Amino acid sequence: MLRELYRRYLSAGAPPPQAPEAYALGPLPPKARAALVSRFHDGLPPQQAAFVTGLRSALLEQEARQARDHLYATHRSLFPVDP
């Protein structure tokens, strides 16, 4: 079930934001969004996140790290404590 949801998520574009801060994940590529959501929103362990997104573990971690770095630089308020 999760794999099908992520497949759809990866194939869909980001919804158009009404304001730049309206959808922080919007500018991210689909793989980066899926990696970030699976790991940090859904809280999946790396192996399960890789399986449901269809990404190799190393690529999943790379995408998640780049997405997190981008969000940290552009939406610092999402990170109440510095990493």
Domain-located, residue 80: no
Domain-located, residue 81: no
pLDDT tens-digit series, residues 8-56: 767 766 555 555 556 787 788 888 888 988 998 899 999 999 998 889 9
CB 53 within 8 A of CB 60: yes
Domain-located, residue 31: yes
Domain-located, residue 60: yes
* pLDDT for the residue numbered 81: 76
Tell me the two tokens of residue 81: 């404590």
State the pTM of this model. Answer: 0.72
Domain-located, residue 43: yes
How many domains does the structure of the chain reveal?
Answer: 1
Rounded CA separation 17/82 (Å): 27
Higher pLDDT, 18 or 62: 62
